C-alpha cells in the first residue's frame, strides 16, 4: 500500500464515523487502530477504507465501516465482557470488539472464511478471539451466557438459542427481515428477567443461513 493506512483510517473515522454521530471513544479508538486493509484480499486493500461493504469471497461481504461502528456502539461493549458474534466473515468486526477489550467468541459457517479469519487472528496476535466453524444460529451454548451478542447476517427472526444464551443484563443486536437482504436492526435487551425489543431502522446484510435462519 502506497498511502499510509493510518492516515486513511483517521480520515475514515472523521468523515464516515464521527460525522454520522458515533461518539463512543472505545469504538473510535478501535476503528483507528485495526488495520481494515488486512481483512480483505490484497487486490482490494486500496478500497478497504472507502464508505462501503466489500466482497470477501463465497458471496459474502465485510460490512461498511459505519455499520461496524454503529453496531459496536449500540452494544455498549466494556472491557472484560464476553461477546458472541455470529458471522465471522473477514474477522474485522471481531477484531474491533477485541480492541474494545471484549473476550470474543465468533462463529462462521463457511469453512474457507473460517480458516482465513482464524489465520488473521493468529497473525495479528488477537488471542482474545476464539473462532468456531458451525451454524451460529445455535449459538455456542458451552461458553455462554454472553453479556453481548452480535449477529452480522440478516435472518427471518431472532434465533431463540441466542436469546437463551444472553446474560442478564445483556444486549443482542441482529438484523431481522421477512425478505432477504433488507432488514431492520433489532436490539434485544434482557434486564431484571425481562426481554424487550427495539427496532432501530433499516439495514442491508447478507443472509443468515441455518437452523434458525434462512434455509
Ligand atoms: N462480521 C463480518 C461480516 C461478514 S458477512 C466481518 O466483519 O467481515 C456475514 C457472515 O455471516 C458471512 O461470512 C456468512 O457466511 C456468515 N453466516 C451466515 N449465516 C451464518 C450462520 N448460521 N452461522 C455462522 N455464520 C453465518
* Tens digits of residue pLDDT in 164-199: 999 999 999 999 998 887 999 999 999 999 999 999
* Tens digits of residue pLDDT in 33-74: 999 999 999 999 999 999 999 999 999 999 999 999 999 999
Closest atom of ligand 1 relative to the 208 alpha carbon: 19
Query: What radius of gyration do the chain's Cα atoms show?
Result: 16
* Residue 1 clears pLDDT 60, i.e. is over it: no
Whole-number mean pLDDT of the chain?
Answer: 97
Cβ contacts of 166 within 8 Å, gap of 6 or more: 145, 146, 149, 172, 188, 190
pLDDT, average across residues 139-143 = 98
All domains of the chain in start order, with CATH? 51-203 (3.40.50.150)
For residue 141, give the C-alpha cell.
451454548
Tell me, yes or no, if 63 is annotated catalytic: yes
Separation of CA 80 and ligand 1 centre (Å): 24
The answer to whether the Cα torsion of 88, 89, 90, 92 is positive or negative is negative
Residue 193 CA to its chain's centroid (Å): 26
Separation of CA 3 and ligand 1 centre (Å): 30
Distance CA 91, CA 166 (A): 22
* Tens digits of residue pLDDT in 16-30: 999 999 999 999 999
Distance CA 70, CA 210 (A): 25
Amino acid at each position: 500500500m502506497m498511502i499510509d493506512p493510518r492516515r486513511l483510517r483517521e480520515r475514515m473515522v472523521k468523515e464516515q464515523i464521527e460525522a454520522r454521530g458515533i461518539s463512543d471513544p472505545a469504538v473510535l479508538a478501535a476503528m483507528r487502530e485495526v488495520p481494515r486493509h488486512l481483512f480483505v484480499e490484497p487486490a482490494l486493500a486500496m478500497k478497504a477504507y472507502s464508505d462501503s461493504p466489500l466482497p470477501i469471497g463465497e458471496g459474502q461481504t465485510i460490512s461498511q465501516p459505519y455499520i461496524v461502528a454503529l453496531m459496536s456502539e449500540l452494544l455498549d461493549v466494556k472491557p472484560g465482557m464476553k461477546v458472541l458474534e455470529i458471522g465471522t466473515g473477514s474477522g474485522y468486526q471481531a477484531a474491533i470488539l477485541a480492541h474494545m477489550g471484549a473476550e470474543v467468541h465468533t462463529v462462521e459457517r463457511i469453512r474457507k472464511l473460517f480458516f482465513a479469519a482464524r489465520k488473521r487472528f493468529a497473525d495479528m496476535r488477537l488471542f482474545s478471539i476464539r473462532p468456531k466453524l458451525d451454524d451460529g444460529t445455535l449459538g455456542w451454548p458451552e461458553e455462554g451466557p454472553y453479556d453481548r451478542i452480535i449477529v452480522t447476517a440478516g435472518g427471518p427472526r431472532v434465533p431463540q438459542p441466542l436469546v437463551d444464551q444472553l446474560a442478564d443484563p445483556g444486549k443482542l443486536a441482529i438484523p431481522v427481515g421477512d425478505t432477504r437482504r433488507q432488514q431492520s436492526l433489532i436490539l434485544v435487551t434482557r434486564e431484571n428477567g425481562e426481554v424487550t425489543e427495539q427496532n432501530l431502522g433499516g439495514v442491508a446484510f447478507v443472509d443468515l443461513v441455518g437452523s434458525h435462519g434462512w434455509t
